[in-house]
Structure 1
C-alpha cells in the first residue's frame, strides 16, 4: 500500500464499484472521480463539481468507504473535494465576445445553454470495431459527418455495457466540435426535467431548450415506458426536431418493436431511419478491446494474459474493462507482476465463482427450457429433434463452464447420458459461442436470466 499512489488505489476501488453499481450511477457520478492524496488517516478524492460531491456524500458515501477499506486493507476517512478543473468535456454555444457589438433586438438564434457533459474517453478513435458493432459504428460516423441528412433518426440498441453510450457521446462530441448545438440526456433526465417544467409552469423554457438544438441524443429510451405524459412531450419534441431537419439519435436495450410499453406512434417514428444493433463481442474483439485499454493505461501485458481475461469475461465490454481495471490495480497494489499465473489468481480473488456455484442446476434447466419454449422434461427425454438437441447441449455447456460440474455429473443430471455425449455437446456449444454470433447472443441471454 505504501508504494501505491492514490490514483492507483482509487482506480482499484472504481474497478470494484463498476461491477457493483448500475451503469448510469457509475458513469455519471463515479467515473469522473480521481484519487489525489492520502496519509495515515485520510484519503482524498476529487469530483468534477460541488453537486457531484454532495450527491456522493449523501447517497453512497458508506459504500465508497467500505470498498476503499476492502481494496486498501486499511481504515480511512474518505474526504471528497471539488476538482480545480473537471475531467468532463463540456461545450457552450459561443457567445458574442466584443462589448461594442450591435445586438439585434429580435433574437435570431436559440438561447445559449451549457451542454451535458461528455466523457473525454468516449470518441470514435477509442471505440474498438469488430463484426458485432460495425454497422452501429459506421452509421454513427455517418450521422456525425452529416447530422440531419443521413439516418434520421438513428436508433442504436444492445444489451448493457456494449457501447451504445460510447457511440452517442462520440457523435455528440464530433458535432459539438464543429460548433453545433448538441444535447445529450438519458431518458430519466428528460423525464425529470419534463415533470419539473410542468410543476414549475416552465414548459415553454423546456420546449425551447429541447427543440432548438441541432442534435438531440437520448440514452436508454426504454425507461420512458409507461410514462404517458412524458411520451406526449417527447413525441412533439421529436416531431419538431425531425421536421426542422435536426438530428435525433436514440439508444435502447431492445429494438423498437419490443418497446411494448411505448406508444405506437413513437415506436413507428423510431423506425423511420436506421436501426442498428450491437451484439456481444467475439473473442478476437474482446482481446482487441483489452489490448487497447492496456495500451491506454500504459500497461505491458502478454497476449496469453489478454486472452485469459477475454475468455473469462465475455458478457459485455463494461465487465471486460472493469475486470482489467481491477486486475491491473490489484497487481500494482500488491506489487505482483502480471503473469498468466498471477492473472488467474487475481481474477479468482476479484471475481470468485461462489455466485455461480450457488446456482442450482435446476435453474439452468428451467431457464434453458423457457428460452427455447420447451419443458424441462424435454431436456431429460430421448427426444433428438434439432431444437431439443440444441437446448440440451446449451444446458450441458452451462453446467460445465458456469457451474464447473464434471461431464459425469452433468450426464447423471440429464437422465443418465454418458460422458462422451456430454463432452461432445458442451464442446460443440463452446465452439459455437466463439464462432456463431447468434448462438453467443442466445447463450448470454440465458445466462443473464439465470444469474439475474
Structure 2
C-alpha cells in the first residue's frame, strides 16, 4: 500500500464533501490544509481562530471520513495552522496577506469579506452540457455576455450537486475576463448572513452595504437558506432593489423555486420571480459519461480496461458532485493499494458506497407511503406511530428524517408532504427538513442511516 499524501488528501477531501452540505464544506472544512503524515496519523492544519470550533463540531465527521478511506489504518489530528509545516505555504489571500488582484486564480482566503472567491476551475468551457442543463447553460452564458440586458435576475433551480454553483462561478469568471473591468461579487446566503450580523454587532452596516451594492454583478448561492432569517431577508431585499435600480445583474441559485419557499415574504418571492427562472435536473447517462471522460482526460488517469466509467455512470446517477466523488474514490483506492483501475476494483469500491450491484436510481420515484413505511421499519415503528402526534425523541427524529427523504426523493409539494404526515402544515415540513439536514452535517451515524435508506429507496429492489 502506498502512502502518497496527495492521493490521501484528495480522497479525504472527496469524502468530506460527500458527508456535509456544500456550503458547510466551503466555509468550515475547505480552509483545512494538509499537515503531513506521521505513521498512521494524518495531520490537518486549521486556522487557529476556528480550530476549536471545527474540533467540536466536525471531529466525528473527520474521523469517520478517515476510517472510511482506510479502515483501521488512519487517524486524524487537527493542529493550528500557524504551528504546522504548511504555514509557510499558506494560500495568498489568507489573513495577513490579502491578494492584490481580486479574482486571481489563487486559493480562496480563509476569512474576511472576500472569503467567497470565484473558483477558477468553474468556467463555461469546463461545464458539460446535456439535455438536463442545456437551457440553464444558455441563459447563464447570455447573462455573462450581456449583464443586466438579457435576464435580470436569473434564478437557477436544481437539486444539490447538478451544477448550479458551477454556472454561477462561470458567469463571474466570464465577466471578470471579458467584462471590461466590471465588478463581480460571489457569496452564499450563509456568508451574507454572517457578514451582516457581524456588521450589526460592529456598527459597520454602511460598509457592509457598500461592499454588496457597489457591484456590477452579484452572484448569490443557496438562496433557500434565506427562509426564516428575517433581518437578513430584509437587508437582501433592499440590496436586491438597489442593484436592480442601478442596472446591476443578479444571479441566484436555490434547490427549489421561489414559489416553494413559503417562509419568505411575498415581496421577496416576487423579486426572485421577476426575471428568468431556469432549472437543472439530474444528468442523463450520456452527460454523466462525458463528465467522467473529461475528468479522466484532464487528470491523466489511466484505466486498465473499458467499462469502468460506464459502471460508475450507471451506479451514480443523481448528481455530478457524487459522480466525480465516486471517480476520485476509485482512483485514490487504486493508488493507495497499488491496484489497477478495472471494473472489478470499481465494483468493489462502489459496493462500499452503495451496496453490491445496486443502482442509484429507479425508473419510478418512491411514493410518500413507501418512504414512511421504510423509515418506520428502520426505527422499529409502525407507520401510524410515525405520522402520529407523538413528539418523543423516539418518534420525532424518524419523522423528521422521513420528511427530509420525502422532500429529496419525490416531486410532492410541501403541503402535500405535510398532509401525508398526519395533516401537518408546510412550515412543519420545512423545519423538519432543516433539522434533519443540520444533523446529517454533524452526525456520521445519521448520515450512514440516510445513505442506507436512500440506497433502498433508489435501488431496483426498493
TM-score (norm: length of structure 2) = 0.68
C-alpha change, 1:288 and 1:51, in structure 2 (3 Å) is farther
In the alignment, is the contact (CA less than 8 A) between 2:18 and 2:325 conserved in 1? yes
In the alignment, is the contact (CA less than 8 A) between 1:93 and 1:114 conserved in 2? no
2:372 and 2:456 map into 1 onto residues whose CA distance is 12
Deviations 1:176-200 (A, max 9, x none): 3453322211112222222333333
In the alignment, is the contact (CA less than 8 A) between 1:92 and 1:114 conserved in 2? no
Match of 2:220 among 218, 221, 230: 218
Cα offset, 1:154, TM superposition: 0.7
1:128 and 1:91 map into 2 onto residues whose CA distance is 31
2:28 and 2:68 map into 1 onto residues whose CA distance is 20
Q: Which has the larger radius of gyration?
A: 1
Deviations 1:57-78 (A, max 9, x none): 4532443244324423424453
SS class of match (1:60): helix
In the alignment, is the contact (CA less than 8 A) between 2:161 and 2:319 conserved in 1? yes
* Greater mean deviation of Cα atoms: 51-60 or 263-272: 51-60
Cα offset, 1:54, TM superposition: 6.1
1:63 and 1:160 map into 2 onto residues whose CA distance is 20
SS class of match (1:19): helix
Number of residues paired by the alignment? 354
Q: Provide the residue aligned with 2:17 in structure 1.
A: 18
1:86 and 2:91 matched: yes
Q: Provide the residue aligned with 1:38 in structure 2.
A: 37
1:173 and 1:271 map into 2 onto residues whose CA distance is 25
1:318 and 2:321 matched: yes
C-alpha change, 1:207 and 1:77, in structure 2 (3 Å) is closer
Q: Provide the residue aligned with 1:149 in structure 2.
A: 149
C-alpha change, 1:297 and 1:87, in structure 2 (3 Å) is farther
Structure 1 residues 329-368: aligned runs within 5 Å = 329-352=332-355, 366-367=369-370
Deviations 1:402-451 (A, max 9, x none): 9xxxxxxxxxxxxxxxxxxxxxxxxxxxxxxxxxxxxxxxxxxx969958
1:27 and 1:59 map into 2 onto residues whose CA distance is 15
SS class of match (1:217): strand
Deviations 1:366-413 (A, max 9, x none): 14899xxxxx9xxxxxxxxxxxxxxxxxxxxxxxxx9xxxxxxxxxxx
In the alignment, is the contact (CA less than 8 A) between 1:91 and 1:176 conserved in 2? no
C-alpha change, 1:450 and 1:56, in structure 2 (3 Å) is same
1:450 and 1:145 map into 2 onto residues whose CA distance is 42
1:267 and 2:269 matched: yes
2:261 and 2:189 map into 1 onto residues whose CA distance is 14
Structure 1 residues 44-443: aligned runs within 5 Å = 44-45=43-44, 56-72=54-70, 73-76=72-75, 78-80=77-79, 81=81, 84-86=89-91, 114=114, 116-177=116-177, 178=179, 179-301=181-303, 302-352=305-355, 366-367=369-370
In the alignment, is the contact (CA less than 8 A) between 2:351 and 2:357 conserved in 1? no
C-alpha change, 1:29 and 1:294, in structure 2 (3 Å) is farther
In the alignment, is the contact (CA less than 8 A) between 1:215 and 1:246 conserved in 2? yes
* Greater mean deviation of Cα atoms: 279-288 or 25-34: 25-34
C-alpha change, 1:92 and 1:247, in structure 2 (3 Å) is farther
Deviations 1:320-353 (A, max 9, x none): 1111111111111111111112211221124336
1:20 and 1:188 map into 2 onto residues whose CA distance is 18
Cα offset, 1:143, TM superposition: 1.5
In the alignment, is the contact (CA less than 8 A) between 1:326 and 1:350 conserved in 2? no
* Greater mean deviation of Cα atoms: 70-79 or 282-291: 70-79
Deviations 1:74-109 (A, max 9, x none): 244535535525288997668xxxxxxxxxxxxxxx
Cα offset, 1:297, TM superposition: 2.3
In the alignment, is the contact (CA less than 8 A) between 2:227 and 2:263 conserved in 1? yes
Structure 1: runs of 5 or more not aligned: 95-112, 358-362, 371-375, 377-401, 403-445
Q: Provide the residue aligned with 1:443 in structure 2.
A: none
SS class of match (1:323): helix
* Greater mean deviation of Cα atoms: 118-127 or 136-145: 118-127
C-alpha change, 1:70 and 1:130, in structure 2 (3 Å) is closer
C-alpha change, 1:356 and 1:278, in structure 2 (3 Å) is closer
In the alignment, is the contact (CA less than 8 A) between 1:165 and 1:219 conserved in 2? yes
